Structure 1
């Protein structure tokens, strides 16, 4: 293993200790400096990104890189504005470190506090999207976590430019330890990072299904993320036509190259004859290829929409297209839709369109996904849109953090027990003292002066 990698990781691990105790005011100063640095370095960042885009276009033309990855790679003034807004939103949040989550009196003068704290050293491995760097760096800084970044080679120039700009701003802020943030740049370093479970506390992968699955299968470090985004919209028999048309269009077409875009449309048989032809026209105008079950194919064929419809195969129900491709199935009941989603979905984001409150409630209860929508686009499943400022990723895990994960996914807790010479021996035996186990409203910070 490269000594350079070990040195960077060890240095970041050491820096994670003092970073955990940096004051909220100091972290906010660093975040403000990050936002300012992004704004004043637009030309440098866009110039670096132009080099990456040019190389990526050639790879895409040669069939060596998907067009969806090329789309995610682009950084322009609008994207930089979004990066700055994300950093400034994180700045507005309260300092999450050192919050008392619960307090319990065990006995008179013996008090137990559960307190939020950083996870430690986080490894972020991502493909294509350079905007991941400011998103996660701002959240990690605010939550007191040191971070190792490893981006894809296709975004190498962009990642380096953004990383250098941000780290220079952070490390010029008095009180921030040096070396808490590091960038890895070669493919070989990914596998080496995955072996460093003695130093790295959490891995966050961002990329394709195959990429995330590879990370999950090749490390002993806990992984926060999802390997696929097979999202569904179910249009119920009691749906409102306009809402159904708007939500289904937005869920697929607004930005198809992302994990929260719809991949399968399920339609109740009682609404299919009127809805599918109208929806088909909108999709046809947007250039969406439709892969249909027998019943939906027949409806679309009879409506005259022939140029972009084909018969769906079994594999289509479990495919994340990340493109203007959509599979469609007519179901006989909401229960069939729920069963289909739980069988073929990736537990990411699924929606129901209905005016029936009881049906919506049942759908939300029974669909086993990290986000479930009612009369709203699946595209809302996003950390920024959920008010988290930015997100570290979307997790389909059922432990630690789930759904669009913001700062809360970068925090854990510790217990602080405050006593006055208390000893366990007094609570054992014939005349043992009794625990009171009384909830307290006190904050640990108040007890510590």
Structure 2
């Protein structure tokens, strides 16, 4: 599969933007036309998941309704409308000796994706790969096996019908041996991107010989500063936690400065609990929850370190901005950290001292997203520091090469 993908990648690298965009529109139209087929396959996955006790939060990630299929297809059309990064001149100059040098963006080649129960990733990765001139090998989780198989079949059929090598999109099936083969296909696969829970990501990072971009877990915080507008803080907290709790940019911890905790936490805890959020509170937050009549469990260190992927949240009261920063350094995952404050100096310190891919000032953590940033669909959110950090879209799926043009130049 990787060998065939390399052949397809060489062909994709030579396609014009017009040809790639037309192909993306064709893929989108094919998905729209196959909506009933896709939803039926997804129903099989959902039934298997429910029978196996799949948590509701994972079912939310897995489900494909006709509306979601339309959104997935529209994402391909959005990708088609984006600028093509391939061939962009990153920098260039003419040297004193007359040599002309240019650094150009070029495709990576073959990109592997290992991910869990999110069938929309199958289409997003294929679309971003095609637009950036890369062939993709996709390894989705078993929970979405039927959905992914149909999605890839539909896209490969469309590619073949429009004269594009269908091996530009491949679905890797099989057991652990197949995954191990992908992770060790160095020289055939140029880049591997894991996307999912901590166990999956750690396994890929530790066991791959193929270069990996780590898309880390999202243990995200909202810190309500002593100078916060408490109405803004409540809206941001609720949105960060309850808008879509199963995704990586949902907030998992709430930190509140002790000077505003007596005013803010009774209402915040009541609203969170009313929205179905299970609260894990430290000693001071527990005392306020008790007075407010809000149910809670006493938070442990493990709670503060957990990405819940559900309607659960850890809550702590801190004595200072320094304490909040130290808490984030201890428990944060480097994904997204938000501060709510009207104190610009506090906002500047938070922005400068928090070590994360994205820092929010008076905004929900839910905005860390390629679509929200205007990138179109994203292939993941990188929490590492090499090559790419934050939402990864088209430019992050390219590398560069140097073109040097002379006229018989020799080095002396």
With the shorter chain as reference, the TM-score category is over 0.9
Q: Show structure 1 runs of 4+ deviating over 6 A.
A: none
Aligned length: 411
Structure 2's unaligned 5+ residue stretches are none
Partner of 1:429: none
Q: Would you say 1:318 and 2:305 are equivalent positions?
A: yes
User: Of 320, 339, 344, which aligns to 1:333?
Assistant: 320
Give, in whole Å, the separation in 2 of the partners of 1:229 and 1:413.
30
Higher mean C-alpha deviation, range 354-363 or range 367-376: 354-363
**Secondary structure of residue in 1 paired with 2:114:** strand
Q: CA RMSD in A?
A: 1.1
Which structure has the larger Rg over C-alpha atoms? Answer: 1
Structure 2 residue 34 is matched with structure 1 residue 28: no
Q: Tell me, yes or no, if the aligned pair for 2:270 and 2:292 is still in contact at 8 Å.
A: no
Tell me how far 1:390 sits from its aligned partner: 0.3
Q: TM-score, structure 1 length as denominator?
A: 0.90
Matches within 5 A, 1:95-174: 95-174=84-163
- 2:11 aligned to 5, 9, 18, which one? 18
The whole-number CA distance in structure 1 between the counterparts of 2:326 and 2:406 is 53
Where in structure 1 are there 5+ consecutive unaligned residues? 1-7, 426-449
Find the counterpart in structure 2 of residue 435 from structure 1.
none
Number of the residue aligned with 1:41: 34
SS at match of 2:150: helix
Q: Distance in 2 between matches of 1:178 and 1:272?
A: 58
3-state secondary structure, aligned to 1:95: coil
1:343 aligned to which of 330, 348, 365: 330
Q: What is the CA–CA distance in structure 2 between the aligned matches of 1:350 and 1:243, rounded to whole Å? A: 16
Structure 1 residue 166 displacement after superposition: 1.4
1:184 pairs with 2:172: yes
Q: Could you say what secondary structure the match of 1:384 adopts?
A: coil
Aligned pairs for 1:6-405 (under 5 A) are 8-60=1-53, 65-174=54-163, 176-188=164-176, 189-305=178-294, 308-405=295-392
Q: Calculate the TM-score normalised by the size of structure 2.
A: 0.98
Q: 2: CA distance between counterparts of 1:369 and 1:201?
A: 26
Deviations 1:185-216 (A, max 9, x none): 12231111111112111111111111111111
Instruction: Mark the CA change 1:408 to 1:143 in structure 2 (over 3 Å): closer, same or farther.
Output: same
CA separation of 1:178 and 1:43: change in aligned 2, threshold 3 A: closer
In the TM superposition, residue 261 of structure 1 has moved relative to its aligned partner by 0.8
Give the drift of 1:179: 1.6
How far apart are residue 125 of structure 1 and its match? 1.0
**Hey, what's the Cα distance between the residues in 2 that align with 1:31 and 1:310?**
49
CA contact (8 A) 1:153 1:186 kept: no
CA separation in 1, counterparts of 2:293 and 2:9?
62
1:263–1:320: 8 Å Cα contact kept in structure 2?
yes
Distance in 1, Cα, partners of 2:162 & 2:133: 15
Give the Cα–Cα distance (whole angstroms) in 2 for the partners of residues 37 and 205 of structure 1.
27
State the shift of 1:178 in Å: 4.0
- Counterparts of 2:186 and 2:28, CA distance in 1: 32
Give the whole-Å Cα distance in 2 for the aligned partners of 1:251 and 1:28: 34
Contact 1:266 1:329 in 2 (8 A): yes
**CA offset digits 1:101-132 (Å, max 9, x no partner):** 11121234311100000011000111111111
| 8 Å contact from structure 2 (residues 114, 195) kept in 1 | yes
8 Å contact kept, 2:189–2:210: yes
- 37 and 178 in structure 1: CA distance in 2 versus 1, 3 angstrom threshold: closer
| Helix, strand or coil at the partner of 1:386 | coil
Superposed CA deviations along residues 393-449 of structure 1, whole A, max 9, x for unmatched, are 010010101011111210110000000000012xxxxxxxxxxxxxxxxxxxxxxxx
